[in-house]
């Protein structure tokens, strides 16, 4: 089951695939809540009780957890860990980077998520390729959010559908800088992508390094995604091996 958490203060939202407590969540939806930010974590109180003998002491990025003491659903997007043990609930759909816009105390509304009709074609294509897909809000506009695992690595992206084609932006790789190490890293990644037709190294509007695609049609998008799936593990390996990481 897909649920959507709307940040009503910022006209943005994110999507979660709930793998547990589906019936309890269905009975409680929709509900209002307050979004909280603690370290590299977004969490919100939910009117459910999830009891489990299986507790998690170290989280995995991209997974969604339930924190029993606060009856809260938690999503981690950085290096921080839970205050006390949590229980697995489901998976985050899309780029974890999108959680960074949420501010502590924002008003939230949690609803059942349905794929936006205008984006259903591209959503079905991505599902057929093995991606979890949602259509959350970014600045009040519906976009496509998708994620999957390649080997042991999870990656997510946001896809903007325009009248003239598609623009894809990956999760942030690292904070780009103008010092020698960051510039050398950027050029190394560009060299690694020299044999790709579509996949590019770029920076986002906040100055973080990302991978992007700008393509005309679905066939080009599929080819670009194949390039992304091939190159992403290699690039992550390089980024993590250098001081810039």
pLDDT digit string, tens, across residues 28-58: 999 999 999 999 999 999 999 987 768 999 9
Distance of CA 215 to the CA centre of its chain: 21
Return the CATH architecture of domain 2-112: Beta Barrel (2.40)
Q: What stretches of the chain show up as alpha helix (H) in DSSP?
A: 22-28, 120-128, 180-192, 218-241
| pTM as predicted | 0.94
CA torsion, points 173, 212, 168, 98, in degrees to nearest 10? 20
Q: Judge whether residue 243 has pLDDT over 90.
A: no
Average pLDDT over every residue of 5-24: 95
Over residues 87-129, the pLDDT tens digits come to 999 999 999 999 999 999 999 999 999 999 999 999 999 999 9
Q: Judge whether residue 233 has pLDDT over 70.
A: yes
Which CATH fold topology does 117-241 show?
Answer: Yope Regulator; Chain: A, (3.30.1460)
Nearest partner of 176 among 200, 210, 199, judged by Cα: 210
Q: What stretches of 141-217 show up as alpha helix (H) in DSSP?
A: 180-192
| 46: Cα within 13 Å, side-chain hemisphere | 29
Alpha carbon of 223 to those of 85, 108, 215, 219: distances in Å?
A: 41, 37, 10, 6
Whether the domain at 2-112 and the domain at 117-241 fall into the same CATH topology:
no
Buried b (16+ CB within 10 A) or exposed e, 101-114: ebeeebebbbeebe
Q: What stretches of 89-200 show up as alpha helix (H) in DSSP?
A: 120-128, 180-192
Tell me what percent of the residues of the chain surpass a pLDDT of 70.
98
Secondary structure (3-state) at 190: helix
Nearest partner of 34 among 110, 111, 106, 112, judged by Cα: 106
Residue ranges per domain, the chain? 2-112, 117-241
Q: Give the separation between CA 70 and CA 138, rounded to whole angstroms.
A: 28
Over residues 144-195, the pLDDT tens digits come to 999 998 888 999 999 999 999 999 999 999 999 999 999 999 999 999 999 9
Nearest partner of 146 among 165, 119, 164, 173, judged by Cα: 119
Q: What are phi and psi of 236, to 5 degrees?
A: -60, -40
Average pLDDT over every residue of 58-82: 95
Nearest partner of 236 among 148, 157, 171, judged by Cα: 171
Task: Specify the length of the chain in residues.
Answer: 245
């Amino acid at each position: 089951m897909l649920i959507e958490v709307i940040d009503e203060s910022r006209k943005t939202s994110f999507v979660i695939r709930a793998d547990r407590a589906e019936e309890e969540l269905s009975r409680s939806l929709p509900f209002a809540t307050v979004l909280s930010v603690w370290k590299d974590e977004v969490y919100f109180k939910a009117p459910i009780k999830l009891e489990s003998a299986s507790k998690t002491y170290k989280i995995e990025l991209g997974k969604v957890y339930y924190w029993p003491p606060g009856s809260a659903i938690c999503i981690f997007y950085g290096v921080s860990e839970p205050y006390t043990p949590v229980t697995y609930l489901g998976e985050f759909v899309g780029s974890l980077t999108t959680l960074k816009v949420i501010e502590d105390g924002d008003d939230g509304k949690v609803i059942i998520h349905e794929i936006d009709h205008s984006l259903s074609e591209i959503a079905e294509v991505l599902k057929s390729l093995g991606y979890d897909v949602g259509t959350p809000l970014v600045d009040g506009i519906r976009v496509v959010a998708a994620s999957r695992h390649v080997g042991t690595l999870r990656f997510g992206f946001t896809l903007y559908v325009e009248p003239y084609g598609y623009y894809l932006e990956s999760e942030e790789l690292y904070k780009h800088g103008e010092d020698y190490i960051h510039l050398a890293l950027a050029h190394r990644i560009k060299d690694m992508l020299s044999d790709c037709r579509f996949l590019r190294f770029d920076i986002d509007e906040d100055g973080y390094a990302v991978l992007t695609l700008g393509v005309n049609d679905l066939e080009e998008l599929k080819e670009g995604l194949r390039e992304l799936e091939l190159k992403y593990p290699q690039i992550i390996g390089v980024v993590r091996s250098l001081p810039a990481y």
